[in-house]
Structure 1
Amino acid sequence: MPKTTLSARQGQTPSRRRWIKLGAWAAGATAAAGVAGTGVWMYQPDNDRQLVFATLEQAMQEVDRLSEVGAQALEPATAWSWSQTLEHCAQSIEFSLRGFPAPKAALFQHTAGAAAFAAFAALGRMRHSLAEPIPGAPTLAAAVPDASAALVRLRQAVQDFVAHPGPLQPHFAYGPLGRTQYEQAHAMHLANHLSAFDVRPG
């Protein structure tokens, strides 16, 4: 196979080289995750608003907006109701404070998991199956029209996260994360799920 020439390498702009690198990260993380049985990490549902949030505050502003006007699931983007989605997102934040019930092996966290988070963080958003529960988490409550209890739980989880003074627990897949990284992880997780809902017409 002929060697890559200097002129060919020079033809790649910094932006192009960045996207090539990100593509390699994402492909590697997806392949490893599929082998490990963690679901389709780069899953892209139809009818997705593709929201992007940098902070939990931004994410909660959208949660409050949808809650106030009536969130409407964008089928077939999600199989969960609004109440179940809020509960699931609350679970994720709660587990980051007290520990995930069924974490992946340390080897997975430090290889495929770390690569997946790096790819998502660089892109500013994550993609995953919106009907895949957190491993070992209690079964979500049945869907209910009134999501007020789930909303209260999510708000409390966010407040507890913000006020938490000590170290955070390793993510079940990504492994150990700093506070800033963990907030980004939670914000991306919320963005992915909230992208499957919009304002209820009428």
Structure 2
Amino acid sequence: MNRRQLVKFAALTGVAGIGAGYWALPAGEVPGPLSLPGAQQLLIGLRDKPLLSLKGWSPAEVFNHCAQSIEYSLGGYPTIKPAWFRHSVGPLAFGAFAARGAMRHPLDEAIPGAAPLSAPATQALALERLLQAFADFASHQGELQPHFAYGALSHADYAQAHVLHLYNHLSLIRLA
């Protein structure tokens, strides 16, 4: 199989997988409105509440991870997928998530090249970091950096991606 056939095969199987995956996404209740203010209000409601993770990362690590994603959309991701991916499979995946109003991805997978999720270490400080990242993103007027997988996104699409990303991670967080 030559390179052109391989790329074509990867794109077609990716499209099929994304199409099938669309129907496997959760369709139930989301924890809050699918908007920046809705996500911010939900997070404010978590202040001073004891939280636990059902599996994987601690709540502090989840908040740091989600904050990193938002911060990288403003300043640039440390590592990005190849251009062919960011112009084919990545946007198709985001389109499926956006259409469904839900995201599903590995909840223990760090952003490629990202710093460790250990700072800040406390849940309270990590939550404040995340709230600040959302506030910085909401007020940002300049150009946004390409997403490491989805490629170039508008401010509105990035806002939706950040909210869906947060809500996917919050599916494993409960009040202690």
Normalised TM-score (structure 1): 0.71
Which residue is equivalent to 1:95? 72
- Identify if the C-alpha distance between structure 1 residues 53 and 105 changes in structure 2 by more than 3 Å, giving closer, same or farther: farther
Residues 197/178 of structure 1: CA separation in 2 closer, same or farther (3 Å cut): same
2:87 maps to amino acid:
H
Once the two structures are TM-superposed, the CA of residue 71 in structure 1 deviates from its matched residue by: 1.5
Give the alignment of 1:52-67 within 5 angstroms: 53-67=33-47
Q: Tell me which stretches of 4 or more aligned residues in structure 1 moved more than 3 Å.
A: 28-31, 41-45, 48-53
- In the TM superposition, residue 199 of structure 1 has moved relative to its aligned partner by 1.7
Tell me how far apart the structure 2 counterparts of residues 110 and 81 of structure 1 sit (CA, whole Å): 33
Task: Report percent identity of matched pairs.
Answer: 44
The equivalent of 1:126 in structure 2 is 103
What's the Cα RMSD here?
2.8
1:153 and 2:133 matched = no
Gaps of 5+ in 1: 1-23, 32-40
Computing the radius of gyration from Cα coordinates, the structure with the larger value is 1
Q: Distance in 1 between matches of 2:62 and 2:162?
A: 13
Structure 2 unaligned residues grouped into runs of 5+: 1-13
> How far 1:98 moved relative to its partner?
0.4
- Match of 2:7? none
Q: Provide, for residues 132-151 of structure 1, a one-character-per-residue CA deviation record: whole Å limited to 9, x for no partner.
A: 0000001111795x312212
Q: Which amino acid aligns with 1:171?
A: H
Number of residue pairs the alignment of both structures matches: 162
Per-residue CA deviation, residues 54-79 of structure 1 (Å, 9 max, x unaligned), is: 11221222222233322222x2xx30
Q: Please say if residues 43 and 131 of structure 2, whose CA atoms lie closer than 8 Å, have aligned partners that are also in contact.
A: no
Counterpart of 2:69 in 1: which secondary structure?
helix
